[in-house]
Structure 1
Amino acid sequence: MGTRLVSGVLTALALSTPLTSASDQPQSTTAAGPSNLAGKMPPSFDQEVARVVAALDKIEADTLSQVEHTQLDRQAQVRTLGKLLLFDKHLSVNQNEACSFCHTPETGFTGPIQALNQTTVSYPGSVRTRFSNRKPQSYMYAPFAPVLHYNALQGDFVGGNFWDMRASGYRLQNPSAEQAQGPPTNPVEMGLPDSACLAYRISQAPYRKLFETVWGEDSFTIQWPPNVEKICATPGPPPATDEYPVHLSAADRARSDRVYDSFGLAVSAYEFSPEVSPFTSKYDAVQAGKDQFTPQEKLGYELFRGKARCNECHRDGGPGEEPLFTDFTASNLGVPRNPGLQYYYEGAPDQHGYSANPSGNDYVDAGVGHFLRKLKSLSGQLNPDSGWIELAPHFDGKFQVPTLRNVDMRPTPDFVKAYMHNGYFKNLKEVVHFYNTRDVLPRCAPNDPGEKITCWPAPEDSTNLNKRQLGNLKLTDQEEDALVAFLKTLTDDYKIPNQTAAK
């Protein structure tokens, strides 16, 4: 098995054609209904997917080589294991999509394909015609989120991971670990039909020995059924009559579940490492007295903490706090619907008989409210507290406040990123302008010539709309630009120029 990864990398780097098979490529139609993919994907789409897959394969190969040639201490072992797990495409149903496919380092661990950021926003799953309903959320600094809890005095939920907070952390007391457990069995992401398939695939991986070193030599003492390969190559979800299609004894199911938990905890350990959450931005250098803001950046920071009210939700840290630029609550900003989401076109069953979005074009993303109603998510996470169900109407339309760290991290200055849960915005100026003018500029239809400049479409969901921190900030155009300039100082891996170092 040790040659599996290296040979895959060499093949990927040698070919200019797509790595995935024809059956895995985005198609203009599904087996049972129209798709929005036709005409939306540029000619370079397949090559961009291949480029990302090859780059991720190389990262995993380099990391595997490090394991083989470097003496690692305990902390380095678990973090390195987490990295290998994140970058291993073989943990998906078609063995073509790693967790990191939607979360790459050069974009701040969010979407790396500009063509998708500009169009579908969400990314194709291991079944390439399946797309999720939201933009990939960055997992930089995700391990700093507390276990989800309700603050009755403030009337707010705090903590958890995912846009809708559903990775609550209640079971493992670690939201980022539970977040990592979502994509492998999500039908529109990595698509495994059973969590046991992940344990089986890890048992076949070239880093199995490292996993056993970290989590125990008996981790994979599991009697796998003869048809496990076939089952784990069948896209989820599983049949309603067979929720766990990998049939294991009670003892083996318990071992498999422990592997799944260990997978999540290892990924969280890697995300907590300085490689993913380093605190090395220009902002950090300024706070440490090692650099200075430009006048425009300084004005932006003053506005951030004052007139623009950004700091009320995107906290830059108080006494004893890390400057995480989020308060881990949720808010409905009134973001317009994004008609580019492929998810609206996934109402009809696909070639595997699965319909991701039975509501079709009528779908409205209720955010945290949907999770609180205790509806089972695609990833399997459930509301852990039945007392929260009655609070759901107060959280419809709300989404978790994301960290602003690395909000501008991109491989090139002209690379297009997408912002907010549905990726409606394509640059930071649009975001700031929306915060400033949402309630001042007139309403207009999508694709109006003035959209995002002199008018805004109606909110996707106006329930529980935040009217306190945004809507009419009375910022000038120059002040909007200053805020954008400050936000760019939150990008990690900043190199301090000697000539501007603080004296």
Structure 2
Amino acid sequence: MSKKMVRGFLLFAIAALLTIFGRTVFAQSLTPQQQLGKDVFFDVNLSEPAGQSCASCHDPAVGFTDPDKNLPVSEGVIPGRFGTRNSPSAAYAVFFPTFTPKGGIHGGQFWDGRAADLTEQAKGPFLNPVEMNNTSRAQVIAKIALATYASLFEQVCGPNAFNLANTDTSYNCMAASIAAFEGTSALNKFTSKFDAYLSGLYTLTPQENMGRRLFSGSGKCAHCHDDNGRPVVFTDFKFHNIGLPTNREYPFSLLNPIPIDLGLGVNPFVMDHREDGKFKTTHLRNVELTSPYMHNGVLKTLKQVVHFYNTRDILAPCAPALGNLDPGFGTTCWPAPEIPQTMDSSFVGNLGLTDAEEDAVIAFMLTFTDGYLP
């Protein structure tokens, strides 16, 4: 049994215990649809074979991202099968608007925005062979029919939800229920020091306050990670190419050659090479917990992230044959960008921040972590 399968069973057991003891773990009282979504989200029996749930790659303990921080991308229920993109946070994803390909491309789910909204996104992993590995919608619904929450599924999705003729309708209902759960306070807590600061219940330290000024000023973070939204989730919901290099570490090293990820450019609703290499601006809520960073997990720490933004254009190039495996990666060199043609050079690359200023920006971002009690 893989580590991810073991973790999946543990998450399911924890969720079951929380359900037994009054379902009071979350501040928000759940509707039947939201409760169904929660049950499905934590159910490790919905993969093939059993052992992986949505929570296996979107663990509440790490900001609803993958808890395996030793890998840049997630391993599926079948050991040795990996996706090619880092698992984004499911928390706060509800605030991303529906994908819009016109008038300034923005919104959507997945790194390339190819799922219009959370409901569409929730339909994908169950049938992806490198994730939960089911072969059909009917297979997923048949497993739910055997679950302890089958009667709740019929309550929410209809008394004939398990009739084979209603498979597509039931599958869509399942996905909508997951999206409903992902819209609750279980994933969107707004309980960070930053939130307390906005409410006048926390005073930023001098270092955090310096970071706040840099974040909106010479650090240029707020250009893409907008800090003026209501609510503040620190994203412009748009897509950018910041010049990230190819990730050559395992499991990418199993691929020969390592494919170039064109991102937004091959989104089926876009298909425009002028958008190649652009990826969604993630929110920064709980960013302290959500490493590794970027669509391919190539940056491992917040210090690396901020240093990349600050020095991408001024450090020496890494050895081309080594790329991010160069011992100097992130300290004395950066590899060439994977797709230089569409790279943003206006707000990334040579910010002129000192080491202390980089640390201040990080200190400010650490105030975005939920769980602070004033």
Whether 1:88 and 2:36 are equivalent positions in the alignment is no
What root-mean-square deviation, in Å, do the aligned CA atoms of Structure 1 and Structure 2 show? 2.0
Please tell me the residue identity of whatever aligns with 1:148.
F
1:441 to 315, 320, 328: 315
- Give CA-to-partner distance per residue, 1:304-355, whole Å, 9 cap, x none: 111111111111224xx21011111011111111111424525xxxxxxxxx
Q: Give the match's secondary structure for 1:61.
A: helix
- Give CA-to-partner distance per residue, 1:65-107, whole Å, 9 cap, x none: 257999xx99432222111101111111111111111110111
Contact 1:132 1:343 in 2 (8 A): no
Alpha-carbon distance in 1 for matches of 2:192, 2:20: 29
Alpha-carbon distance in 1 for matches of 2:31, 2:111: 29
Q: CA deviation at 1:113?
A: 1.7
Q: Give the match's secondary structure for 1:303.
A: helix
Q: Give the match's secondary structure for 1:273.
A: coil
In the other structure, the counterpart of 2:80 is 129
Give the length in aligned residue pairs.
Answer: 368
Alpha-carbon distance in 1 for matches of 2:94, 2:149: 24
Contact 1:315 1:326 in 2 (8 A): yes
1:150 to 80, 101, 122: 101
In the other structure, the counterpart of 2:15 is 60
Alpha-carbon distance in 2 for matches of 1:477, 1:69: 44
Contact 2:106 2:237 in 1 (8 A): yes
Q: CA deviation at 1:50?
A: 5.6
Alpha-carbon distance in 2 for matches of 1:181, 1:444: 40
Aligned 1:321-332 pairs, distance under 5 A: 321-332=230-241
Alpha-carbon distance in 1 for matches of 2:356, 2:285: 22
List alignment gaps of at least 5 residues for structure 2: none
Whether 1:397 and 2:277 are equivalent positions in the alignment is yes
- Give CA-to-partner distance per residue, 1:224-249, whole Å, 9 cap, x none: xxxxxxxxxxxxxxxxxxxxxxxxxx
| TM-score, normalised relative to structure 2 | 0.93
| TM-score, normalised relative to structure 1 | 0.70
Aligned 1:129-278 pairs, distance under 5 A: 129-152=80-103, 156-168=104-116, 175-222=117-164, 252=165, 255-278=166-189
Q: Give the match's secondary structure for 1:115.
A: coil
- Give CA-to-partner distance per residue, 1:193-220, whole Å, 9 cap, x none: 1122111111111101111222222211
- Give CA-to-partner distance per residue, 1:358-398, whole Å, 9 cap, x none: xx324101111122xx3xxxxxxxx3xxxx43xx1111011
**Alignment CA distance shift 1:51-1:194 (3 Å):** closer
Q: Give the match's secondary structure for 1:114.
A: coil
Contact 1:195 1:260 in 2 (8 A): yes
List alignment gaps of at least 5 residues for structure 1: 1-19, 26-45, 169-174, 223-251, 347-359, 375-382, 411-416, 497-503
**Alignment CA distance shift 1:473-1:151 (3 Å):** farther
Alpha-carbon distance in 1 for matches of 2:260, 2:282: 21
In the other structure, the counterpart of 2:245 is 336
Contact 1:184 1:198 in 2 (8 A): yes
Deviates more, 1:429-438 or 1:83-92: 83-92
**Alignment CA distance shift 1:69-1:133 (3 Å):** closer
Q: Give the match's secondary structure for 1:150.
A: coil
1:419 to 293, 296, 313: 293
**Alignment CA distance shift 1:184-1:68 (3 Å):** same
What percentage of aligned pairs have identical amino acids? Answer: 39
Contact 2:75 2:131 in 1 (8 A): yes
Alpha-carbon distance in 1 for matches of 2:369, 2:333: 30
Contact 1:108 1:406 in 2 (8 A): yes
